Structure 1
Amino acid sequence: MADPVLYIGNKNYSSWSFRPWIGMRTAGIAFEEKLVPFDMAAGNPAFKTFSPTGKVPVLVDGDVTVWESLAILDHVARRHPESALWPEKPADRTMAMAMSSEMMSSFLALRSACPMNMRRERKQIETSRAVLADVARIQALWSQCLEKSGGPFLFGTFSIADAMYAPVINRLDVYAFETTPIVSGYMARMKELPAWREWETAGRAEPWIVDEDEA
């Protein structure tokens, strides 16, 4: 059976593409990568040839097409239970799903003001109270999980929750937000993952530039 195909956008900018990519790569789930770049805020009209929403990411797994990052990760976790992408303990699985769903629906102020950018020079920007509230909420979530699990990742071993929050690590880093020691340590461990380094290296090497105000 052929490997599934994961369609993604620019590695420097596409936070939603990064989520399933780092999850599958870290879990050792084989897939074929197809990068379709965008150089505009609206994306790329070519996305509509493979994506029912006209957006990325999209996973094509045989006759099944899955869009949305969390749905892709859940699909591959069920197809590959040996990957342990969802935590083993039922209570932890529920928490990981709740956190991942919150990432999908929340933190709009942070996501709007601080787009993911792998090659951005590390420096602060003026931020609103809403952005700072998002950062505080995220740090509280991470700290709660890390204190309970003991790390190195949110639920001990790498999970879908880590994949869903991976782009936030880039945001907190390159926009130079102040982080607690437990959060800083977690961010450093995530950035040491081979999959993270592979993605970041590729993103930094890309030729496409999207204006930060439009990303």
Structure 2
Amino acid sequence: MYTLHIANKNYSSWSLRPWLVLSAFEIPFAEQLHPFPEKGAWEAYRSFSPSGKVPCLQDGDRVIWDSLAIIEYLAEHHPHVWPSDKTARAWARSAAAEMHSGFQTLRNNCGMSCGVRIALHNISPALQKDIDRIDELWSQGLQKFGGPFLAGENFSAVDAFFAPVVFRAQTYQLPLGKAASEYLQTMLALPAMKTWYEAALIETWREPAHEKEVFDAGKLVADLRN
């Protein structure tokens, strides 16, 4: 059975992606949660992850790190992880790769914190550009493949790659068009997403760097965490 090493569900956007694939597809795995330490994360995580980062997947004596590598590894053993249609699969992989390597302003300005609601101080042109591209991508996938998920009728890995953006959009009330907003609600209603979110709310860890990043972005509207 797989073992997936992750960090705090409230903060860890990278951990969410493979966790969601494993959970949504009901692929058996053991979860090992390692709360972000206040300092020395690299040293602490090196005990199980070559990169000193999460997520990290163990499959017997194999160790796979980085969320994209993990999901591609899972797809080799579970073909339904990506869409079966070749055109949809090509689009899904391209969109997932763009998410994996891009949207730096969104990442920097809107750190993931599932359990809070923030009114942004402002939306810079660079952040608006990222939001517009997210809206465009989501709307394109929904229109091209018929929804309700990005590459068609069924949840797939591309949805997992954008799952952290779904939580960010909820936290920071990001302005999205009608199609993208409907997709947001579809994702929030996904049972595995609800399971992650509910677990994030009851976490008691507060890591100062993540907290500062979130609260520097705007005014606190609500803190729904325990």
Q: Is the 8 A contact 1:40 1:214 kept in 2?
A: no
User: 1 CA distance for matches of 2:39 and 2:149?
Assistant: 32
In the superposition, the TM-score normalised over structure 2's length comes to 0.89
- Trace 1:9-158 onto structure 2 (pairs within 5 A): 9-40=7-38, 43=41, 45-81=43-79, 84-156=80-152, 157-158=154-155
Give the 3 Å change call, closer, same or farther, for CA 52–110 of structure 1 in structure 2: same
Q: CA deviation at 1:126?
A: 1.5
Amino acid across the alignment from 1:27: F
Listed as ranges, the gaps of 5+ residues in structure 2 are 215-226
Does residue 167 of the first structure (1) align with residue 164 of the second (2)?
Answer: yes
Amino acid across the alignment from 1:131: L
Does residue 194 of the first structure (1) align with residue 191 of the second (2)?
Answer: yes
- Alpha-carbon RMSD across the aligned residues, in angstroms, is 1.4
Match of 1:123, SS?
strand
Match of 2:41, SS?
coil
Amino acid across the alignment from 1:6: L
User: 2 CA distance for matches of 1:43 and 1:149?
Assistant: 41
Match of 1:121, SS?
strand
Q: Deviations over 1:32-70 (max 9, x none)?
A: 000011143763632110000000000001121110111
Q: CA deviation at 1:91?
A: 1.7
Q: Is the 8 A contact 1:11 1:202 kept in 2?
A: yes
User: 1 CA distance for matches of 2:69 and 2:160?
Assistant: 12
Listed as ranges, the gaps of 5+ residues in structure 1 are none
Q: Is the 8 A contact 2:24 2:192 kept in 1?
A: yes
Q: Is the 8 A contact 2:139 2:180 kept in 1?
A: yes
Amino acid across the alignment from 2:212: D
Give the 3 Å change call, closer, same or farther, for CA 42–181 of structure 1 in structure 2: farther
User: 1 CA distance for matches of 2:32 and 2:213?
Assistant: 24
Higher strand share: 2
Give the 3 Å change call, closer, same or farther, for CA 91–198 of structure 1 in structure 2: same
Q: Is the 8 A contact 2:131 2:175 kept in 1?
A: no
Q: Deviations over 1:103-151 (max 9, x none)?
A: 1110000000001111112433322111110010011001000011111
Q: Deviations over 1:13-46 (max 9, x none)?
A: 0000001101110011110000011143763632
Give the 3 Å change call, closer, same or farther, for CA 128–39 of structure 1 in structure 2: farther
User: 2 CA distance for matches of 1:138 and 1:169?
Assistant: 10
